[in-house]
Amino acid sequence: MIIKERDVLVGEVDDSFIIKVADEAYDCSKSIFFDLEHYVYKKPKCVGVFGACIYDKAKSELVVTQYMIENKYEIKDILILAEKYFLNAYEEGKRYIVTFSGNNDFTVINYLFNQYGIEFKFEDYFVSVDLQKEYEKLIKMGIGLKALEKKFDIVREGELMSGSNLAKTFHKVIKDKDYILRMPKEKIDKILQYNEQDVVNLFHICMTWNKYIKLNENEGDNNSTCINE
């Protein structure tokens, strides 16, 4: 298992534009920003990378945690680590879990939790905040994460990767126990960086939500046209 934890400095944060959830004030310091890279063929096969981060307000940092499997023998291990992460976060006062199109990730991890006998239900611990759904409720149009990042002036670091290519990689990882040993370190780093950017950018979108939604709303009468053009 590759386990990586690193602090990402975000500096001083202005919370005047922060997203509201169900018309209530939302506290990003009580949130987990969560994303999976996974392999599904007819049914979920594995979590390839578990990625999550939390905001440390005192240090103005995001604490990013990632687990990446190296072979099929770690399919259950990564799920156990994921459950432990969520339980620890809850004990530390986290009450929200923020995703983009999170239904896909929850479907995969819940299926695998059930398959491997891990009794964990997200709804017992966290309020789900799906930024794709929040956007679509306001704008009445669909959007992908990378397109939304552009709307929010977020410049993504590193290389873009497709879900299908990541799935092919993790298919090879669980089929060939030595495949991870042949993978260039640069490829592993790119995968982890891609996943890290996903979770870190969820935080930035939450923190600037009303700034960019209102900016675009004020540019014209047709909100959906000007936001999604």
The answer to whether residue 219 scores a pLDDT higher than 80 is no
Q: For the residues 188-210, what does the mean pLDDT come to?
A: 94
**Does position 224 have pLDDT exceeding 60, yes or no?**
no
Confidence band of 227 (pLDDT split at 50, 70, 90): very low
Q: What angle do CA 109, 201, 149 make, to 5 degrees?
A: 110
Residue with tokens 């999976």: 36
Residue 177 pairs in a beta bridge with none
Give SS3 for 29.
helix
Assigned token pair, 84: 């432990």
CA distances in angstroms from 63 to 74, 91, 132, 181, listed in the order given? 24, 16, 23, 28
The CATH code of the domain that includes 6 is 3.30.420
- How confident is the model over 67-88, as a mean pLDDT? 97
Biggest CA pair distance of the chain? 57
CA atoms within 13 A on the CB side of 52: 20
Q: How confident is the model at residue 17 (pLDDT cuts 50, 70, 90)?
A: confident
Note the pLDDT tens digit of each residue in 91-150.
999 999 999 999 999 999 999 999 999 999 999 999 999 999 999 988 888 888 999 999
Burial of 193 (0-12, 13-18, 19+ CB in 10 A): middle
Element (H, E) at 117: none
Average pLDDT over residues 17-30: 81
pTM: 0.89
Has residue 221 got a pLDDT over 80?
no
Q: Which residues pair with 8 in a beta bridge?
A: 62
Residue 226: band (very low, low, confident or very high) from pLDDT cuts 50, 70, 90: very low
* pLDDT interval class at 55 (50, 70, 90): very high
| Residues in a beta bridge with 37 | 49
- pLDDT of 91: 97
By the 10 Å C-beta count (0-12 exposed, 13-18 middle, 19+ buried), 117 is classed as exposed
Query: Is 229's pLDDT higher than 50?
Result: no
pLDDT reading at 203 higher than 90: yes
User: Three-class SS of residue 101?
Assistant: coil
Containing structural domain, residue 207: 2-152+159-228
Q: Tell me how many domains the chain contains.
A: 1
The 8-class DSSP code of residue 184 comes to -
Q: Which of 167, 186, 211 is nearest to 13 (CA)?
A: 211
Provide the mean pLDDT of the chain.
89
Spell out the long-range contacts of 86-92 with Cβ–Cβ below 8 A and sequence spacing 24 or more.
Answer: 86/32, 86/120, 86/122, 86/125, 86/126, 87/120, 87/125, 89/32, 89/52, 89/54, 90/125, 90/126, 92/54
| pLDDT tens track for 159-192 | 777 778 898 999 999 999 999 999 999 999 999 9
- Phi-psi label, residue 158: left if phi above 0, alpha if psi -120 to 50, beta otherwise: left
Backbone angles phi, psi at 174, to 5 degrees: -85, -15
Residue 220 or 90, more confident: 90
* Coil, strand or helix at 164: helix
